Amino acid sequence: MYVPAEGQLIVVIFLLYLYDCIVLAYRNEVVAHRLPSGYRVIFPRNNATFGRRLLIRLPLVTPFYPAYRLTWSPYPPPEGGATPDAATRLEAFRARDTALSSRLLPGTLLLAPGILLLMPLGLCFLPILYVLALLPFIYLLILFQLYQFARFHADYPLSREKLWLLAVESLICPPCAINLVRKISLHLPVPIDLVVFAENLLPPETRQSVLRSVAERIEENLLFVEDPDAPQAKQAQDYAAQLRAGTEDRIVIRNP
């Protein structure tokens, strides 16, 4: 079946965007992305990819919000609850999350419809020259996004190589520029544990689901422990039981 060049280009645009919405995560990692209704936590699948990593597909309709990699520990936090600077680190995470969205959100709101809606519609119904006239505006938006990122790059502890890679990737492949907010946030170190994150930033129903999932994964790992009576194994067993019961209150950071 013959597919015109315009149709092939539309398919390429969406395939590139779909490919850019895939992230690989380790088994003890989750992806937490922010939605208007709050954070949503996605656990990796049990099927391994390349032996070590698991495949997670991020939602295709939320390129406007940050997404973060979070990990959990199989052992309970130190006695006395969270570390003294945990509240400070939590507030710093919230501030950086808000700042990242506000700085790059305006450009993303214009860039996503331009590439995923106007460009395909133009290729379907307008002469190619009219569609090509959209490209300068799209690249101006991409340059605006990169300028905003460069202005505040000191707030995002990414390596110089990663900064250049994101910039070059956005310029060479405009569909990848739509996900700039998510790709930046996915590479940012998060200074809090998943359980601390859940206890402080998730609603009760979601929190209990996340804690149960963490407990299940801790218990699965314990199946492969050589000595189930070892002190560390006992600690992990007790921690999983506490998470299932939802009694791990000492990790909650109460706001004054």
Task: Report pLDDT for 49.
Answer: 46
Residue ranges of domains in the chain = 5-21+77-186
pLDDT digits (tens, 9 = 90+) for 236-253: 888 888 888 865 454 555
Residues 6 or more apart whose CB falls under 8 angstroms from that of 73 comprise 193, 195
Name the token pair of 233.
Answer: 């194994």
- Residue 254 confidence (pLDDT): 46
Contact 16, 8 (CB under 8 A): no
Pure H helices in 115-203? 119-125, 128-132, 134-151, 160-172, 174-177, 180-186, 194-201
The answer to pTM > 0.85 is no
Q: List the chain residues with pLDDT less than 70.
A: 1-3, 45-62, 78-85, 246-256
Quote the pLDDT of residue 51: 46
Q: Tokens representing 33?
A: 């992305």
